[in-house]
A = this chain, B = another copy of it.
Amino acid sequence: MAQKKIHCDCLDTIKPVRDTLDVINGKWKVPIIISVGVGNDRFTDIQESIPGISPKVLAKELKDLEQHKLLRRIIIDEYPVKISYQLEEYADTLTPLIYALKDWGINHRKKVTEK
């Protein structure tokens, strides 16, 4: 009787997790969503609210997030010209994920420092 190699199948979980990671990947996207979510809507305000982010990186990540329909860029035609960034409604679906990331981070820091 042929022995069949069994390794547990977990693609049902891995595949959607990968889909998510493809969207919110990297150091900056979730922080940007958080920042815009609490009300920072201007380029420079977003930049100042996220320590360490450079304008180059911010501009690139904002474009990515726009393409993924997580936020939109609104041109306000006054003097001086302003741009407002707003979360799309779809970004609200990320709320549970963001809380999970936050909660785990808080707990992890507690664990690491209490030694």
Q: Report which A residues bind B (CB closer than 8 A).
A: 5, 7-11, 13-21, 23, 25, 27, 30-31, 34-35, 37-40, 42, 45-46, 48-51, 90, 93-94, 96-109, 111
Interface of A (DSSP majority class): helix
Copy number in the complex reads: 2
Q: Can you list 17 A-B pairs with a CB-CB distance of less than 8 A?
A: A5-B45, A7-B42, A7-B48, A8-B40, A8-B45, A10-B35, A14-B31, A14-B35, A14-B49, A17-B30, A17-B101, A17-B102, A18-B31, A19-B108, A20-B108, A93-B107, A97-B100
CB distance from A37 to the nearest CB of B (A): 8
Q: In the complex, what residue of chain B is closest to A105 when comparing beta carbons?
A: B16
CA distance A5 to B14 in the complex (A): 44
Contact A34:B14 (CB < 8 A) given known A90-B111, A105-B19 = yes
**Which residues of chain B have C-beta atoms less than 8 A from A96's C-beta?**
100, 103-104
State whether B40 touches A106 (Cβ < 8 A): no
